[in-house]
């Protein structure tokens, strides 16, 4: 056989083992010997049954995503599944780890599937801007029903082995040596004798499909897709499984797959898949990481409480420190309430709630942080306060403890220089709510030790965060670019655009919400405090804050929010205020098109990203995309600001930036030199040649 596929024979039951680390992707060097093995075993009269298993940590986790966009090498997955499904003798997939995408489709080509109790099964292609292209949209509904299949395929969320057994996706769940169980299962099936019905012929449940309910749910999912094509195609393909003959539905699935795999949206989402993994890779050789068990968090407010929950949720004991018992109890009460809400919603079991609450220890004495391996301060955003805290940590923290600040803006080199152990200092910039938002900007200060950095990058992944290592500058990567994106917001208002028009231009682009809705959600007072600290002004937002209009939390901001509702209602008072301020500045209002709004907000965003790359604050353009998709909701179908710049064309962006520079004279429109090099070379790699 080959290194990637081997065959053993146990008393007439053939075991085909796929071995393609790390996730047994169905690369060509797996597919070719796998097809040869299946054909040989099909024709081998001494073989009574066939088990397909995988070596390593998981069953096949999908097609090889790196092969997409390249010429398909035969046999492709569809040919393998067709051959497998036509085998008359019983075939059994032995599933452990994660059977995902093409892996589950391979298993659906078998008569039977058995799973380890810890296994997960799913069709996550939608997350890559695709749909299952190996028959999953037509076979899965035949086992679990059309509605369940649509939900699984449109969400891309895998299900556990027990649930899969309950829905008929797997035929047995085992504990212990899965392959032995699978061989015994296959032998028993062969002994009982056939015929063995392939999944393609098991369409008894499809007739019960309530198409009206299916269509209603599919329409709702399409609305939530916010312009993404794959979710809509997934639902359509599953519907075809109900309404069309098998082979016709399969042909439509293939046509949809071919269209999607060539689309910009899928290229963007595949870019993000690899970008997230690339972002966690540090230059240089591997270093020994420090051991992190107990985590100390200073500050039990919104950020500190969320950060504490993020670590408790990741299984770490947490010491939560506040300046007073009253503040500490308030913080702990908020944490308890948050967990209680999760239990009520059904997203957390009562046992898990108790277990997580048991991780917390409260204190108002810094000395109690002496046994912490990592301490994160989430105190008031003021340099003097941060330095005072780090001074105390320098005295009480154990040697080798990592000392992190959650600051959003402040100079971490300055904080590190104020204590005796700058090598242990770095930034962990969480995004609110810290127990929910995936992004974690890990700020590498000038003197941060490599092992400290590697330790927190690994720790981030283990607590379910998407880590991006960034350098020290005002606002690091995300917030610095956010300032550039917002630099024209007030000018656009004063020139005639309303908050609703600007926000609609953003949501039509694919953002979950526009800048003014986002400001009202986060609280306008945060930006107001930052501007005052830096001697900056924003005439509209400042005036709103002076009137106590901080956004949702005060029921009024750029919009009105009635009776605690989160639905923004345009406020004529705000629009009148904007008109008055414009008149004071002698600005005559005009109609502003959505394209202009996008140019004057997102092109400065990209330009600032180019400057950040030039300065080495971010190591890769794809790191910037990971920040913006995971921290700010940049539409995944556009791949992040830097990937999207490639779709728009750097040359066009430069031309428009220069137009607005000429008109406004503002620095945000001055094209970065790397943006110009991108226009020439087509690559963000500094100094790259085409
Ligand atoms: N193809 C190629 N490489 C892959 C891969 C894949 N399918 N999955 C993972 N890798 C690489 C990944 O880039 C990383 O590389 C290493 O494996 C470890 O991954 C026809 C069209 C399985 C849950 O979408 O969800 O089948 O960084 O860091 O955290 O219908 O990998 O080490 O160089 O993520 O333990 C459908 C994608 C494909 C599953 C494991 N399948 N993978 O998570 O490890 S499309 C998927 C995952 C398809 C068919 C369709 C996760 C994982 P490197 P990792 P992990």
pLDDT tens track for 322-356:
999 999 999 999 999 999 999 999 889 999 999 99
Q: What percent of the chain has pLDDT over 70?
A: 99
List, in order, residues 6 or more apart from 664 with CB less than 8 Å away: 491
What's the CATH code of the domain at 573? 1.10.1040.50
Segment 595-604 mean pLDDT = 97
Return the best residue to mutate from 27, 57, 65 for the ligand 1 pocket (most ligand atoms within 8 A of CB).
65
CB of 22 within 6 A of ligand 1: the answer is yes
CB of 108 within 6 A of ligand 1: the answer is no
3-state secondary structure at position 465: coil
Q: Give the start-end residues of each E strand in 530-612.
A: 559-560, 569-570
Residue 576 — pLDDT band, cuts 50, 70, 90? very high
Residue 198 shares a structural domain with residue 311: no
627 lies in a domain?
Answer: no
Residue 121 shares a structural domain with residue 57: yes
CB of 398 within 6 A of ligand 1: the answer is no
Q: Which of 521, 556, 584 is the last residue of a domain?
A: 584
| Segment 140-164, tens digit of pLDDT | 999 999 999 999 999 999 999 999 9
H or E element at residue 243? helix 229-243
| 441 catalytic residue (yes or no) | no
Query: What is the 595 CA–ligand 1 centroid distance (Å)?
Result: 37
Residue 381 shares a structural domain with residue 504: no
> What is the per-residue pLDDT for 686?
61
Residue 511 shares a structural domain with residue 553: yes
690 pLDDT higher than 70: no
Q: In this structure, are residues 84 and 91 in contact, taking their beta carbons and an 8 Å threshold?
A: yes
* Both structure tokens of 340: 């209680």
Residue 207 shares a structural domain with residue 316: no
What is the separation of C-alpha 205 from the centre of its chain, rounded to a whole number of angstroms?
34
Separation CA 530–CA 482 (nearest Å): 13
Q: Which of 584, 606, 621 is the last residue of a domain?
A: 584
500 pLDDT higher than 50: yes
* Nearest CA owner, ligand 1 atom 52: 61
| Segment 666-684, tens digit of pLDDT | 999 999 999 999 999 999 9
533 lies in a domain?
Answer: yes
1 pLDDT higher than 90: no
CB of 133 within 6 A of ligand 1: the answer is yes
Residue 557 shares a structural domain with residue 514: yes
Q: Which of 550, 584, 618 is the last residue of a domain?
A: 584
181 lies in a domain?
Answer: yes
| 125 catalytic residue (yes or no) | yes
Separation CA 356–CA 337 (nearest Å): 13
Phi, psi angle pair for 95, to nearest 5°: -105, 125
Q: Give the start-end residues of each E strand in 581-641.
A: none
* Nearest CA owner, ligand 1 atom 41: 62
- According to DSSP, the residues that pair with 298 across neighbouring strands are 321, 377
Across the chain, mean pLDDT equals: 95
- Pairing state of beta strands 172-174 and 120-122? unpaired
Say what angle helices 650-664 and 594-614 make with each other, to 10 degrees.
Answer: 100
Segment 453-458 mean pLDDT = 97
CB of 122 within 6 A of ligand 1: the answer is no
> What is the per-residue pLDDT for 492?
96
Residue 203 shares a structural domain with residue 107: yes
Pick from 108, 86, 106: nearest CA to 196: 86
CB of 132 within 6 A of ligand 1: the answer is yes
* Both structure tokens of 478: 């995300």
* Both structure tokens of 129: 């801007």
Residue 130 shares a structural domain with residue 41: yes
In angstroms, what CA-CA distances link 461 with 100, 132, 184, 255, 454?
Answer: 20, 27, 38, 37, 11
> What is the per-residue pLDDT for 556?
96
* Nearest CA owner, ligand 1 atom 38: 62
What's the CATH code of the domain at 31? 3.90.226.10
Residue 22 shares a structural domain with residue 116: yes
> What is the per-residue pLDDT for 688?
47
Least confident of 26-30, 380-384, 531-535: 531-535
Q: What is the DSSP string of 31-95?
A: HHHHHHHHHHHHT-TT--EEEEEE-TT-S---B-GGGTTSPPPSS-HHHHHHHHHT-SS-EEEEE
32, 67, 85, 105: which one is catalytic?
105
pTM of model > 0.85:
yes
* Nearest CA owner, ligand 1 atom 28: 277
Q: In this structure, are residues 664 and 647 in contact, taking their beta carbons and an 8 Å threshold?
A: no
> What is the per-residue pLDDT for 204?
81
396 pLDDT higher than 90: yes
125, 377, 381, 441: which one is catalytic?
125
Residue 159 shares a structural domain with residue 247: yes
Residue 436 is part of which domain span? Answer: 295-476
Separation CA 231–CA 145 (nearest Å): 18
376 lies in a domain?
Answer: yes
Q: In this structure, are residues 140 and 105 in contact, taking their beta carbons and an 8 Å threshold?
A: no
Return the best residue to mutate from 23, 457, 464 for the ligand 1 pocket (most ligand atoms within 8 A of CB).
23
The length of the chain, given as a count of residues: 690
574 lies in a domain?
Answer: yes
In angstroms, what CA-CA distances link 242 with 105, 227, 229, 247?
Answer: 18, 25, 21, 12
619 lies in a domain?
Answer: no
283 lies in a domain?
Answer: no
* Both structure tokens of 153: 């395929």
CB of 64 within 6 A of ligand 1: the answer is yes
- According to DSSP, the residues that pair with 279 across neighbouring strands are none
Residue 336 shares a structural domain with residue 469: yes
* Both structure tokens of 223: 């609305």
Query: What is the 272 CA–ligand 1 centroid distance (Å)?
Result: 12
- Pairing state of beta strands 5-10 and 559-560? unpaired
Q: In this structure, are residues 173 and 163 in contact, taking their beta carbons and an 8 Å threshold?
A: no
In angstroms, what CA-CA distances link 374 with 148, 243, 364, 406, 565?
Answer: 43, 57, 17, 13, 39
CB of 131 within 6 A of ligand 1: the answer is no
| Segment 174-209, tens digit of pLDDT | 999 999 999 999 999 999 998 899 999 998 889 889
Number of structural domains found in the chain: 3
Residue 633 — pLDDT band, cuts 50, 70, 90? very high
622 lies in a domain?
Answer: no
């Amino acid at each position: 056989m080959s290194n990637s596929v081997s065959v053993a024979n146990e008393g007439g039951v053939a075991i085909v083992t796929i071995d393609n680390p790390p996730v047994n992707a169905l690369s060509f060097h797996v597919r070719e010997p796998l097809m040869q093995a299946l054909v040989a075993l099909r024709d081998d009269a001494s073989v009574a049954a066939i088990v397909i298993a995988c070596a390593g940590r998981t069953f096949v986790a999908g097609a090889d995503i790196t092969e997409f966009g390249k010429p398909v090498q035969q046999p492709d997955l569809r040919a393998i599944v067709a051959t497998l499904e036509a085998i008359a003798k019983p075939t059994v997939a032995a599933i452990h780890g994660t059977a995902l995408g093409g892996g589950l489709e391979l298993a659906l080509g078998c008569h039977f599937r058995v799973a380890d109790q810890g296994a997960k099964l799913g069709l996550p292609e939608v997350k890559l801007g695709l749909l299952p292209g190996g028959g999953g949209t037509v076979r899965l509904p035949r086992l679990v029903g059309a509605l369940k299949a649509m939900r699984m395929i449109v969400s891309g969320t895998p299900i556990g082995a027990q649930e899969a057994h309950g829905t008929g996706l797997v035929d047995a769940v085992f504990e212990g040596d899965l392959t032995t169980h699978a061989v015994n299962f296959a032998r028993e099936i062969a002994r009982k004798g056939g015929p063995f019905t392939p999944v393609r012929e098991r369409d008894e449940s499809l007739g019960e499909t309530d198409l009206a309910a299916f269509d209603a749910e599919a329409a709702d999912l399409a609305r939530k897709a916010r312009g993404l094509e794959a979710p809509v195609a997934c639902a359509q393909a599953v519907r075809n499984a109900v309404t069309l003959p098998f082979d016709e539905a399969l042909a439509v699935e293939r046509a949809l797959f071919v269209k999607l795999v060539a689309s910009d949206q899928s290229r963007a989402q595949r870019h993000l898949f690899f970008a997230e993994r690339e972002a966690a890779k540090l230059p240089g050789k591997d270093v020994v990481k420090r051991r992190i068990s107990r985590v100390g968090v200073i500050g039990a407010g919104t950020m500190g409480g969320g950060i504490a929950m993020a670590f408790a949720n990741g299984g770490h004991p947490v010491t939560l420190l506040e300046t007073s018992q009253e503040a500490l109890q308030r913080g702990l009460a908020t944490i308890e309430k948050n967990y209680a809400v999760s239990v009520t919603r059904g997203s957390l079991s009562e046992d898990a709630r108790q277990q997580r609450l048991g991780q917390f220890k409260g204190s108002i004495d810094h000395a109690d942080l002496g046994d912490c391996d990592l301490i994160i301060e989430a105190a008031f955003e003021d340099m003097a306060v941060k330095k005072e805290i780090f001074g105390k940590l320098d005295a009480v923290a154990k040697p080798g403890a990592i000392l992190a600040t959650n600051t959003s803006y402040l100079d971490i080199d300055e904080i590190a220089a104020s204590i005796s152990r700058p090598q242990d200092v770095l930034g962990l910039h969480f995004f609110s709510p810290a127990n929910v938002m995936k992004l974690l900007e890990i700020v590498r200060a000038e003197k941060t030790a490599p092992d400290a950095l590697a330790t927190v990058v690994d720790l981030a992944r283990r607590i379910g965060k998407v880590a991006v290592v960034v350098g020290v500058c005002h606002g690091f990567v995300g917030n610095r670019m956010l300032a550039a994106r917002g630099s024209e917001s007030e000018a656009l208002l004063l020139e005639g655009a309303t908050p609703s028009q600007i926000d609609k231009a953003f949501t039509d682009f694919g953002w979950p919400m526009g800048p003014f809705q986002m400001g009202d959600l986060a609280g306008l007072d945060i930006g107001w405090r930052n501007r005052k600290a830096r001697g900056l002004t924003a005439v509209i937002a400042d005036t709103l804050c002076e009137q106590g209009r901080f956004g949702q939390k005060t029921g009024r901001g750029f919009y009105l929010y009635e009776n605690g509702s989160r639905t923004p209602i345009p406020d004529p008072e705000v629009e009148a205020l904007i008109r008055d301020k414009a008149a004071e500045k002698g600005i005559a209002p005009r109609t502003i098109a959505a394209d202009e709004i996008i140019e004057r907000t997102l092109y400065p965003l990209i330009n600032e990203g180019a400057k950040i790359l030039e300065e080495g604050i971010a190591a890769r353009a794809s790191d910037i995309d990971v920040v913006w998709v995971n921290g700010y909701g940049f539409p995944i179908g556009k791949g992040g600001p830097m990937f999207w710049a490639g779709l728009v064309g750097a040359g066009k962006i430069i031309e428009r930036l220069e137009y607005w520079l000429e008109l406004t004279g503002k620095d945000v429109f001055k094209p970065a030199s790397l943006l110009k090099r991108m226009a020439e070379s087509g690559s963000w790699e500094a100094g790259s040649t085409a």
